[in-house]
Amino acid sequence: MAESRTQKPPKGYSVRTLPGFAIVAIFTLITLYAPIAILVTFSFNAGTSMAIWEGFSLRWYQQAVANEAVQDAAVRSLFLALVAASVATVAATMAALATTRTRHFPGKTMIYALINQPLMVPEIVTAVALLIVFAAIKVWTGHTSMIYLIVAHTAFCVPFAYLPIRARLETMDLSLETAAQDLYASRWLTFRRVTLPLMWPGIVAGLMLAFVISLDDVVITEFVKSAGQETLPTYMLGQLRRVVTPEVNAISTVILLAGAILVSLFFRLTSKRG
């Protein structure tokens, strides 16, 4: 028993022995994931009920795919997400370079705040503000194309693209760019041959995150869209107001899958390699 008397440094609490841990954990997991599990399950229901299981079927997926309104909304959503995420990523890349590859200048913190503003301003406020401005412009010009949605989505996608790109740039060794210049590379060639290839994983990660964020936006889209410009989320919202069929579950499941794949890829890109 002599050994047990030697003082050992106190170890951190094991989560398993924390009082009430299991209850909180189980409750959290159930509230987070049970509804999603139910939603996915009933997307395969053979019947129209959202509560009574009537056997396995892919009829709601078939119905969703055949539904022209769904097709239309899906194409619009993908187009919007692709354009907005791409433009936002280009802007975010430039912003990240400007905020990491320059000496400290007055107002740099202000610029961080400005870039990340969409993360801090409540979405509904942005939505209402955009509604008022865009409504005025629509009346004034009579122009009602997708451009308003693209502009709005691009704006709120910028910080989501910016953060992973900036994180990537900040971990990058600055002496690599110095070395390139030392080896006769001009500023442009230094960027193209050294900076850009090294920040590429950050850019792709930013693009994917912005894409997912745009894809599932409801609030701003609902306020900004003109008549007939339904995206998948606003289409589903419209459907829920009328009759609810497992078709909505099927669409949700597909969006969930797409989001999960993109977010997993995002984490792979941002965690692997230094």
Partner 1 sequence: MIEIDKVTKTFGAGDVAFTALRDVSVTIRENEFFTLLGPSGCGKTTLLRLIAGFEPPTIGAIRLSGRDITRLPPNQRPVNTVFQNYALFPHMSVAGNIAFGLEMLGKPKDEIAKTVDEMLRLVRMEELKHRKTSEISGGQQQRVALARALAPHPEVLLLDEPLSALDLKLRKEMQIELKRLQSETGITFVFVTHDQEEALTMSDRIAVMSGGRILQIGNPREIYERPSERFVANFIGESNFLNGQLSAGSVTLEAGGTFTVQPPQGVADGKVSVLIRPEHVTVAGTGAEGAALTATVENVVYSGEATVAHLKLKTGEAIKARASNLPGASGLLETGAQVGVSVAPGAVTVLVD
The residue range among 114-122, 182-190, 227-235, 251-259 that interacts with partner 1, by the rule CB under 8 A, is: 182-190
What's the burial of 28, exposed, middle or buried (CB within 10 Å: 0-12/13-18/19+)? exposed
Q: Which of 38, 133, 183, 244: binder of partner 1 (CB under 8 A)?
A: 183
Which token pair is 193?
Answer: 């041959």
Q: Provide the CA 77 distance to its chain's centre, in angstroms.
A: 13
Q: Which helix (H) or strand (E) holds 250?
A: helix 246-271
Q: Indicate the residue among 34 and 176 with the shorter CB distance to partner 1.
A: 176
Q: Provide the CA 141 distance to its chain's centre, in angstroms.
A: 32
Q: What is the largest CA-CA distance in the chain?
A: 88
Q: Indicate the residue among 62 and 181 with the shorter CB distance to partner 1.
A: 181
What is the crossing angle of helices 246-271 and 147-171, to 10°?
30
- Residue 273 main-chain phi, psi, to 5 deg: 65, 145
The binding track of 194-213 with respect to partner 1, each residue x by CB under 8 A or -, is x--xx---------------
Q: Indicate the residue among 92 and 172 with the shorter CB distance to partner 1.
A: 172
Q: Which of 119, 185, 218, 237: binder of partner 1 (CB under 8 A)?
A: 185
Q: Binding to partner 1 by residue 178, rule CB under 8 A?
A: yes
Residues 44, 45, 47, 50: is their CA dihedral positive or negative? negative
Amino acid 253 reads T
Q: Binding to partner 1 by residue 171, rule CB under 8 A?
A: no
- Residue 56 main-chain phi, psi, to 5 deg: -80, 140
Least Cβ distance, residue 255 to partner 1 (angstroms): 35
Q: Binding to partner 1 by residue 182, rule CB under 8 A?
A: yes
The residue range among 51-59, 79-87, 106-114, 171-179 that interacts with partner 1, by the rule CB under 8 A, is: 171-179
- Residue 140 main-chain phi, psi, to 5 deg: -65, -45
Q: Indicate the residue among 58 and 183 with the shorter CB distance to partner 1.
A: 183
Q: Binding to partner 1 by residue 40, rule CB under 8 A?
A: no
Q: Binding to partner 1 by residue 176, rule CB under 8 A?
A: yes
Q: Binding to partner 1 by residue 30, rule CB under 8 A?
A: no
- The residues binding partner 1 (CB under 8 A) are 173, 175-176, 178-186, 189, 193-194, 197-198
